[in-house]
Amino acid sequence: MCGIAGYSLSATSRVERTLAAQALLAGIAERGADAVGYACRAPGGPLEIHKQRSGASALLDQVAVPEDVTEALVHVRDYTKGHPRIEANNHPIRHGAVVGVHNGIIFNDDELMTAHGFERAEPNMTVDSEAIFALAESAGGDASALEELRGSMATAWLDERLRETVFLARGVGRPLWTGAGRHELFFASTKAALDVVEGTLRLKLRKREVAEGTLVVVAGGRELERERFRPNRDFEERQLPAVRAPHEGRSCLKQLAALAAL
């Protein structure tokens, strides 16, 4: 069980970029402590990735997001496949032009990589999530490509070929919520994480759970379109508790309160 979160902001949004990322990270911190990371991108700028092998509490006060950033991804990891000692296995994961985060387990990742002739981004990578982003890069955001994945999934990614665009997708077995403001759209694994954002940033968000089998395309802080796909349900998965690192959640919320007061 992992946690994913992020945002798409209008260039006119007055939201403090770093504090927004910290609020999202604190909101999902309880969902994993094997690794943590975030990615961000400003219009016309490079896509920056920061990650480390630790819980969120060790990174929270070091998060630094430039104030011209309009897209961000956040992740905490409770790993299943792909040991966190190999940095490339930790999220955000890059495959070619696509950088993404994932919560869930993909069971047919090796089969898909072989069938499509995809090469691992780095020789030692074994993380199952890479198959999602390899398909996303190949298909260019076509939702039907996600039907090839067998396993549980809530995911988000950025594509360097498509500026100012964030893709969100929910397959089966994992939650995903969006929260829309006037010039902002946040997303997270749980509604509770969006509540943390509201309280920290003093925003009012319209919260909505993303339905299973849905791809959402977001840009400039607003939803552009939703596309349906038929997720593969032919798998069995051992159920894990959503809260995997309660100490991380408590610690990060305490840290966040102090950071927000500065």
Give residue 205's pLDDT.
Answer: 98
Least confident of 168-177, 190-199, 236-245: 236-245
Give residue 242's pLDDT.
Answer: 81
Secondary structure of residue 139 in the 3-state scheme? helix
Query: Could you tell me whether strands 214-219 and 165-170 are parallel, antiparallel, or unpaired per DSSP bridges?
Result: antiparallel
Q: Mean pLDDT over all residues of the chain?
A: 96
What CA–CA distance (Å, rounded) separates 136 from 158?
Answer: 10
Give residue 82's pLDDT.
Answer: 94
The predicted-structure confidence for 68-120, as pLDDT tens digits, reads as follows 999 999 999 999 999 999 999 999 999 999 999 999 999 999 999 999 999 99
Where residue 191 falls among pLDDT bands split at 50, 70, 90? very high
Altogether, the residues listed in the chain come to a count of 262
Secondary structure of residue 87 in the 3-state scheme? helix
For the chain, give the percent of residues with pLDDT over 90.
94
What are φ and ψ of residue 119, in 5° steps? -100, 145
Domain map of the chain by residue range? 3-260
Give residue 19's pLDDT.
Answer: 98
Beta bridge partners of residue 208, listed in sequence order: 178
Beta bridge partners of residue 52, listed in sequence order: 36
For the chain, give the percent of residues with pLDDT over 70.
100
**Is CATH 1.10.3720.10 the right assignment for the domain spanning 3-260?**
no
**Mean pLDDT across 194-210:** 98
For helices 191-201 and 246-260, give the axis angle rounded to 10 degrees. 20
Give residue 36's pLDDT.
Answer: 98
- Closest listed residue to residue 117, CA positions, set 104, 105, 131: 131
Where residue 141 falls among pLDDT bands split at 50, 70, 90? confident
**Mean pLDDT across 18-46:** 97
What CA–CA distance (Å, rounded) separates 102 from 174?
Answer: 10
H or E element in which residue 200 lies: helix 191-201
The predicted-structure confidence for 59-81, as pLDDT tens digits, reads as follows 999 999 999 999 999 999 999 99
Which distant-in-sequence residues (6+ apart) come within 8 Å of 245 by Cβ?
29, 30, 31, 32, 33, 55, 76, 78
**Mean pLDDT across 241-254:** 93
Where residue 125 falls among pLDDT bands split at 50, 70, 90? very high
